[in-house]
Amino acid sequence: MFFDGSSGRSNSLPNSYWEARKDILYYQVARVITSHLSKKAKTIIDVGSAGCPYLDWFSHVPMRTSLDLKRPYEAKGVKSITSNFLTWEPDRKYDIVTCFQVLEHVPDAEGFAQKLLEVGGIVIVSVPYKWPKGRTKSHVQDPVDEEKMLSWFHREPNFQYVCREVVAPVNRLIQVYDLMDGPWDALGRRDRLWLEKQTKDSSA
């Protein structure tokens, strides 16, 4: 299904998942990171949206797409795609790919992670960090840690952040797979490294 908001309708169905989680801390961290990295982006896709309005945070990006197996986010200005990500054939490469709290649900997490890298320039993902196996029935990959993420993505992230929630004793891991080589430890540092790279490339 494709939806581009031309009818003016929005995703008005109740979303108990989002309502129960919209104030958790890691969303704020993911929002800050993605907003910064998408300042000059022309395209962004959120994979595994589950009807959540993450893309509303990034309305400055001209082309926004939501993909989900059952319930992509629907809103004005958002293209909605109902599809299995692993078999979906994109018609472009996206500047930014987000995938929040999805990989832990996917049996073929390695194949999923590799396709995220293929589809996007900058990939931003989050997963539950070291949650015990069996704690959440729908999680087929717990516990997830840095080593497991490396086995899925086949490369080190450029940036990672462990977010500890304040309303519950749980952690989430946010990682960024960037276009640049090498790690960075803060968004400001990343900006400086990017500027240095651009200057070097232009003088070569």
Q: pLDDT (tens digit, 9 = 90+) per residue, 137-163?
A: 999 999 999 999 999 999 999 999 999
Q: What is the pLDDT of residues 117-134, one digit of tens each?
A: 999 999 999 999 999 999
Percent of the chain residues past pLDDT 70, beyond the cut:
93
- Give the Cα-Cα-Cα angle 90, 30, 4 (nearest 5 degrees): 40
Domain count, the chain: 1
pLDDT bin (cut points 50, 70, 90) of residue 167 is confident
Could you tell me if 125 and 116 are in contact, meaning their C-beta atoms sit under 8 angstroms apart?
yes
The domain containing residue 86 runs over which residues?
2-203
Distances (CA, A) of 136 to 13, 15, 106, 128, 139: 25, 19, 13, 10, 6
What's the distance, Cα to Cα, between the start and end of the chain in Å?
46
The answer to whether the beta carbons of residues 157 and 175 sit under 8 Å apart is yes
Query: What's the pLDDT at 2?
Result: 33
d(CA 127, CA 44): 19
For residue 62, say if its preceding peptide bond is cis, omega within 30 degrees of 0.
Answer: no
Closest CA to 21 of 12, 30, 33: 30
Domain of residue 10, CATH code:
3.40.50.150
Q: How far apart are CA 163 and CA 160, in angstroms?
A: 10
The region that residue 68 occupies, defined by phi over 0 for left and psi between -120 and 50 for alpha, beta otherwise, is: beta
Q: What is the pLDDT of residue 12?
A: 41
Q: What is the pTM of this model?
A: 0.90
Residue-wise pLDDT for 24-60, tens only, equals 999 999 999 999 999 999 999 999 999 999 999 999 9
